[in-house]
Amino acid sequence: MNFVYFSPHFPPNYFNFCVHLRKMGANVLGLADVAYDELRPELRASLTEYYRVSNMHNYDELLRAMGYFTHRYGKLDRIDSQNEYWLETEARLRTDFNIQGFKLDEVAKIKRKSEMKKVFIKAGLPVARGKVVKNIKDALKFISETGYPVIAKPDIGVGANKTYKIQSQTELEYFFKNKPSADYIMEEFIPGIIQTFDGLTDQDGNIVFYSSLEYQGGVMDAVLQDLDFFYYSLRDIPPDLEEAGRKIINMYKIRERFFHFEFFRTPDNQLITLEVNMRPPGGLTTDMFNYANDIDIYREWANVVINNRFDAVITRPYYCCYIGRKWNKTYTHSHSDIVETFPAQVIHHEPISGVFAAALGDYGYLVRSPDLDEIMGIVFFALEKQQ
């Protein structure tokens, strides 16, 4: 198999996908814009060849790179980065080179939040009321139906980037006066927590792995209010969450791909469908999958791609929690306090890349335990502020 791995160096932990593809016999063809010598040694060792372009947004350069790989290795079987940012570029390249996976004509329904809502409604799933608004007149008409607050976010966007919570007409007028040029969707505000349905399908569309995350405080609040952020994997998946997730997978006909679906869980225990992402959850979540289950999800993904098999046994023996801390906050307990007080529970920690820091913090910890109360105690300890 000839697998073009797009941007194999980022996110930093995703080099593991390339390592296991190579171990399973694939030609791993790296394509990115960083110098070869800047790639970590494990990644360099996993690449059959690496093609550097000067600008990954220059499609002509990407065409030449793909043409070179085709000339040298024959038909290209896959291209992916597992990264939302490159989804449309990859779909365009798949279309031009007739490569398996989502094509350009399928991108809108997996990137535009307004198109996702149509899929959810067709699947019979409840959604937050929303509308693409072009001007303040559109917005006021929508708000007359929902009331304040409302959420305004790019119709195509990742995470909480350039998302706004609007609570009055004054704030609405300010938003339109300073609105970015992108299309924006406005949604009613739904109180509650975010729960996710995440996993991996095989080549036939069967779910071979699934998990769920619960966010305590949302990504949007972490970004807009500069709050601390933590989230954890669940040991028991709520049945209504699994049922909704399976409906979405059937609607989108997801094959050989990670998925990350987000839902609101309201105070009265209703599940409201929010959005889909055709990629793994961000940050260190793939590593959380591993620690929560004592598996290697990177290997199992490569196993699905190469052999259409998933060999790991999933029992979810642990909750696994991500805790992010920010440099601009003064915490009661130091880094050393955390790792020395909880040596068995803190299983990984590292600095977080700047592009993720607004949401995830500047430094992240992964902790695990079979006991959720113990997890929450560690969260409180790590995030406690000095008075």
Question: Which pLDDT score is estimated for 341?
Answer: 98
CB atoms within 10 A of CB 371: 12
Domain residue spans in the chain? 2-104, 129-188, 193-383
pLDDT category, 358, cuts 50, 70, 90?
A: confident
Task: Note if the pTM is more than 0.85.
Answer: yes
Instruction: Label the pairing between strands 258-265 and 229-233.
Output: unpaired
Least Cα distance to 265 among 315, 324, 218, 328 occurs for 218
Q: Report the pLDDT averaged over residues 185-210.
A: 97
| CATH class in words for 2-104 | alpha beta
Question: Which pLDDT score is estimated for 158?
Answer: 65
261 forms beta bridges with 197, 276
List, for residues 222-263, the tens digit of each pLDDT value: 555 678 889 999 999 999 999 999 999 999 999 999 999 999
Instruction: Label the pairing between strands 27-32 and 130-133.
Output: unpaired
351 forms beta bridges with 363
The Cα–Cα gap between 279 and 11 comes to 12
The Cα–Cα gap between 342 and 336 comes to 10
The Cα–Cα gap between 284 and 351 comes to 11
List, for residues 36-74, the tens digit of each pLDDT value: 999 999 999 999 999 999 999 999 999 999 999 999 999
The Cα–Cα gap between 184 and 134 comes to 7
Instruction: Label the pairing between strands 27-32 and 2-6.
Output: parallel
List, for residues 267-295, the tens digit of each pLDDT value: 999 999 999 999 999 999 999 999 999 99
What is the residue type of 65?
A
363 forms beta bridges with 325, 351
Please list, residue by residue across 314-326, b when 16 or more beta carbons sit within 10 angstroms of its beta carbon and e when fewer do.
bebebbbbbbbbb
133 forms beta bridges with 184
The Cα–Cα gap between 99 and 196 comes to 29
Least Cα distance to 263 among 245, 239, 281 occurs for 245
List, for residues 151-179, the tens digit of each pLDDT value: 999 999 765 568 899 999 999 999 999 99
Question: Which pLDDT score is estimated for 268?
Answer: 96
Architecture label for domain 193-383: 2-Layer Sandwich (3.30)
Architecture label for domain 129-188: 2-Layer Sandwich (3.30)
